[in-house]
Copies of this chain bind each other. A is one copy, B any other.
Amino acid sequence: MNFSIAEENYIKNIYHLQQQSELVNTNSLAYELQTKPASVTDMLKKLQVKNLLDYEKYKGFRLSSKGNKVAINIVRRHRLWEFFLVTKLGFEWDKVHAIAEELEHVSNQELIQKLDRFLNHPQTDPHGDPIPDGNGKMPVIHQLSMADVVEKKKVIVSSVGNQSPAILELLNHYHINIGTEIKINQRFSFDGSIEIKVGKYAACIISELVAKNIFVYHD
């Protein structure tokens, strides 16, 4: 079955919202898609008719198992293209989302299968998110963003999302490299900054933006 770009964008965003809460509501999906609640309701009906959605008026909605499969396939395409854009074309990690948002809708099975092989079956996209395989299976990722690590944990830097000279300069200043051990001391909710301790250096604070771009191994 083939879906329109609009349908695919709805499906994918429902999928993402479901990662946070079992049932999705009209307003949050409208916000996510930058559209109006009335438009969402219209589309929900169409998706329900196509058996992609479990939906009861006024009661919220969730993807059906069929809808879930479709969603994971779109996510797969999106993340593979993001990986391609960063590793092959040399894009910065923060510039690829908008482009992948378009590329994900080129839905040719063989294209994605060949792209996956060309990229050597990557496990995570440039933001550290897992790339589902052709059967929809998500790889278990041990790597995660430092912005998501709990306090008091010791971690080891596995990769850096942003390859720009600007962040590399900053990481150098913090004495952070691939393999560096970092202890998360405390997270400040005001701006999402985190106090960390790197090796034997004095504790210091990194911004939320920096934390998001440092990926670490977790035990």
Contact = CB atoms under 8 A, between A and B. Distances in A.
A99 B108 contact: yes
A88 interface: yes
B89 A115 contact: yes
A150 interface: no
Interface residues of A, number: 19
Contacts of A114: 89-91
A102 B111 CA distance: 12
A103 interface: yes
Contact of A88 (B99, B108, B118): B118
Interface in A9-37: none
Contacts of A115: 89
A178 interface: no
B106 A102 contact: yes
